[in-house]
Amino acid sequence: METIHIAIDGMTCQGCVNSLTRALQAAPGVKSATVTLVPAQASIEHDPATAPVDVLRAVIADAGFEAR
């Protein structure tokens, strides 16, 4: 497991934080995800073999946000 931090564009409220948190935690290979609005970022503990960064970026995009 590795932990990465990704800056997120497009979150405007705590609901955004909650929905992105759920989307990330539902992704295979993600052990845990902590999302904050200030600063706008996600800290993701993941298995890089199962959930590489480009997959995490896609999960974030599908949730309606943008990984910066």
Site residues (vs ligand 9UX, CB under 6 A): 12-13, 15-16
Nearer to ligand 9UX, 38 or 49 (CB): 38
C-beta of 23 vs 51, nearer to ligand 9UX: 23
Q: How far is the CB of 48 from ligand 9UX (least distance, A)?
A: 29
Question: Rounded to the nearest whole angstrom, what is the least distance from the CB of residue 19 to ligand 9UX in the complex?
Answer: 6
How far apart are alpha carbons 30 and 9 in whole angstroms? 20
DSSP 8-state code for residue 13: S
Strands 30-36 and 66-67: unpaired
Gap between the Cα atoms of 66 and 46, Å rounded: 19
